[in-house]
Chains A and B, each alone.
Chain A
Amino acid sequence: MKAIQLEGVAKRFGETRSLDGLTLAVEQGTLFGFLGPNGAGKTTTIRAMLGLVLPDDGSVRVLGHDPGVRGGAIRRQVGVLLESDGLYEGLSAEENLEYHARLHEMPSTVRKERITELLAAFGLVARRRESVRRWSRGMRQKLAIARALLHRPPLVLLDEPFAGLDPAAAVELREALASMVAREGTTLFLTSHDLSHVEKICSAVAVIKAGRIIATGTPSSLLQSSRDIEVEVRGAGLSREILDDMVREGLLVSHSLEHSVARLVCAPHARPRLVTELVRRGVAVEEARTTTTSLEEAFLALVGTREAGA
């Protein structure tokens, strides 16, 4: 079963089209990254899933329910961290968690145990009775994430979970989230601007731009499809003439050659034939390796490409 399924969802706010036929499916137990530039429609998508925004068109199903009809049932089974941490500054960490645990109708014995467990897991036990007003951004972020996980929801929606965390804490959180998904089968849907984390943690990603999904798949497939591939080739017999010839035949986009190492840029569809074509032209290929591209570069290329093409 799909944890999240959106089909042709459209939403306008006055003259602004926030979602424009958005279609998205997230399998249960997936760690899903939702990427997009500011104003792309990420927050509206999350709000639509929670029943806080009703779409003008299309259908939304979250854990099998329509948020417009059974919003309460969805909100009972979902943990959220929204744009703002949503913490009550006048309350302590414990009181903030206690409030949400009660709203999720957790029995008192389970509640206390779970709150202690999460505060310990996020290293917040020592300051649990302190008003969160005095807390740093990173500590507040951790507490807000703990709150999202409190009632062990089958679906967790996290908007920018790594924001405000120092690198060590971000890695720690990333690992904790990954192990939670593996252990409890939780579906995790997260948006992030820190694509290095998304690349490492997510098994599937989608890129949204101007309310539409412009790419979806695994992070590696996104990398493959997003841009031309750079291949480093080492071997005897490499020459500018051969490479220019390959450019003319459309096998290469560009090249550079230094001693016996060539840096070749080709379209994704030409990559499988590249070595064969070089050998056919008399090059003794010793090594050919695809240079890795970060998801961030792929994301920027995707967003930029679609922008230029729009």
Chain B
Amino acid sequence: MRDVLTVLRKEVLEILGNRHSLRGPLVQGAIVFLLTGVIVPRSASMWSDPVAPVLLLQLFPAAIASMIAADAFAGERERRTLETLLATPASEMAIFLGKTLCAVSVALLVSCASLISALLVANLHLGPTSLSPAAGLSVILGSVAAALFTSSLAVAISSRVDVARSAQQMASMAAIAFVFGGATLLRQVESLTPSKLLGIDAVVTGVALTILALSTRGFRRTRLFDQ
């Protein structure tokens, strides 16, 4: 667990210190925040459906997680830091989890900031507006589940692709498919409530953890150099 936190800490420091290589995710984060936390909440129609704001605030930040996670291995390989990292005693699992958790944390941060901003904007623009506690909880837990899903997929892609840009493109496509496909599918569910969404989030989390476990199992230090 200590190694997971160490990797997570380094990833966060790198995001803060290496703005050049992570400019994409930062710009994407700003766009998602503006969209979900400032522009869309000004529309009254968003708040007329109890599920709409929840879906918006939990699904879109997952795309940022995907971008960050896609840089995890391909980026390190490109910047020639991966071999030195793999020469440390850190386990494959710790490296995978640390990198995934960093991406999830950023998505959660954007999601929470957007939630607070959305409520402020709506109250200022549309008058008294609120979300039920279940909806608020669903935003937070759902954003974790969605980000976990997209980032575990992106880390799996990143561990198999040499170039960070290619990994990010592939992961972005997967994230877009997840966000829009997920939103469309969820809209098909009859009488969808924030509470039902929590159940769906649990399933998504389970799937994400399975992907993560499978990609960690498939990732071996030797595989990276055996070619």
Q: Which residues of A contact B (CB under 8 A)?
A: 13-14, 47, 50-54, 71-72, 75-76, 78, 80, 82-92, 95, 99-100, 102-105, 131
Query: Which chain B residues in 1-36 approach chain A with CB under 8 Å?
Result: 2-3, 6, 9-10, 13-14, 16-19, 21
| Closest chain B residue, CB of each to CB of A47 | B225
Could you tell me if A131 and B17 are in contact, using CB atoms closer than 8 angstroms? yes
With a CB–CB cut-off of 8 A, which chain B residues contact A95? 10, 13, 17
User: A75 touches which one: B9, B14, B79, B88 (CB < 8 A)?
Assistant: B88
- Quick one: given A95-B13, A99-B6, A99-B10, are A75 and B80 in contact (CB under 8 Å)? no
- Quick one: given A90-B17, A103-B6, A105-B2, are A50 and B90 in contact (CB under 8 Å)? no
Complex CA distance for A95 and B2, rounded to whole angstroms: 17
Known: A82-B84, A90-B19. 4 other contacts (CB 8 A): A91-B10, A91-B14, A91-B18, A104-B88
- Quick one: given A52-B225, A53-B225, are A86 and B10 in contact (CB under 8 Å)? no
Tell yes or no: B191 within 8 A of A by CB: no
Q: Which of B17, B79, B84, B225 has the most CB of A within 10 A?
A: B84
With a CB–CB cut-off of 8 A, which chain B residues contact A102? 2, 6, 9
With a CB–CB cut-off of 8 A, which chain B residues contact A76? 89
- Quick one: given A50-B87, A86-B85, A91-B10, are A13 and B17 in contact (CB under 8 Å)? no
Complex CA distance for A103 and B14, rounded to whole angstroms: 16
- Secondary structure at the B interface, as helix, strand, loop or mixed, is helix
For chain B, which range describes its interface: under 10, 10 to 19, 20 to 34, or 35 or more residues? 20 to 34
- Quick one: given A91-B14, A102-B6, are A86 and B221 in contact (CB under 8 Å)? no
With a CB–CB cut-off of 8 A, which chain A residues contact B84? 80, 82, 84-86
| Closest chain A residue, CB of each to CB of B2 | A105
Could you tell me if A72 and B89 are in contact, using CB atoms closer than 8 angstroms? yes
Complex CA distance for A99 and B21, rounded to whole angstroms: 20
Q: Which of B224, B225, B227 has the most CB of A within 10 A?
A: B225
Could you tell me if B226 and A53 are in contact, using CB atoms closer than 8 angstroms? yes
Q: Which residues of B contact A (CB under 8 A)?
A: 2-3, 6, 9-10, 13-14, 16-19, 21, 79-81, 83-91, 221-222, 224-227
A–B pairs, 28, beta carbons within 8 Å? A14-B227, A50-B87, A52-B83, A52-B86, A52-B222, A52-B224, A52-B225, A53-B222, A53-B225, A54-B226, A72-B91, A75-B89, A76-B89, A78-B87, A84-B81, A86-B83, A86-B85, A87-B81, A90-B16, A90-B17, A90-B19, A90-B21, A91-B14, A91-B17, A99-B10, A102-B6, A105-B2, A131-B17
- Quick one: given A54-B226, A72-B89, are A86 and B17 in contact (CB under 8 Å)? no
Complex CA distance for A83 and B2, rounded to whole angstroms: 28
List of 4 A-B pairs having minimum Cβ-Cβ separation, nearest first: A86-B84, A90-B18, A90-B17, A84-B80
With a CB–CB cut-off of 8 A, which chain A residues contact B89? 72, 75-76, 103-105
User: B14 touches which one: A78, A84, A88 (CB < 8 A)?
Assistant: A88
With a CB–CB cut-off of 8 A, which chain A residues contact B6? 99, 102-103
Complex CA distance for A75 and B94, rounded to whole angstroms: 15
| Closest chain A residue, CB of each to CB of B22 | A90
| Closest chain B residue, CB of each to CB of A73 | B89
Nearest chain A CB to B212's CB is how many angstroms away?
A: 20
With a CB–CB cut-off of 8 A, which chain A residues contact B224? 52
Complex CA distance for A84 and B88, rounded to whole angstroms: 15
Complex CA distance for A72 and B220, rounded to whole angstroms: 13
Complex CA distance for A54 and B77, rounded to whole angstroms: 20
Q: Which of A13, A85, A102, A104 has the most CB of B within 10 A?
A: A102
User: A90 touches which one: B14, B85, B225 (CB < 8 A)?
Assistant: B14
Could you tell me if A82 and B79 are in contact, using CB atoms closer than 8 angstroms? no
Complex CA distance for A95 and B79, rounded to whole angstroms: 17
With a CB–CB cut-off of 8 A, which chain A residues contact B83? 52, 82-84, 86
User: B87 touches which one: A80, A90, A91 (CB < 8 A)?
Assistant: A80
Complex CA distance for A50 and B14, rounded to whole angstroms: 26
Complex CA distance for A112 and B191, rounded to whole angstroms: 57
| Closest chain B residue, CB of each to CB of A72 | B89
| Closest chain B residue, CB of each to CB of A53 | B225
Nearest chain B CB to A70's CB is how many angstroms away?
A: 11
Complex CA distance for A278 and B88, rounded to whole angstroms: 60
Complex CA distance for A177 and B14, rounded to whole angstroms: 31
User: B18 touches which one: A78, A83, A89 (CB < 8 A)?
Assistant: A89
With a CB–CB cut-off of 8 A, which chain B residues contact A51? 221-222
Q: Which of B16, B87, B221, B222 has the most CB of A within 10 A?
A: B87
Complex CA distance for A80 and B81, rounded to whole angstroms: 12
Could you tell me if A52 and B87 are in contact, using CB atoms closer than 8 angstroms? yes
Q: Which of B17, B81, B88, B224 has the most CB of A within 10 A?
A: B88
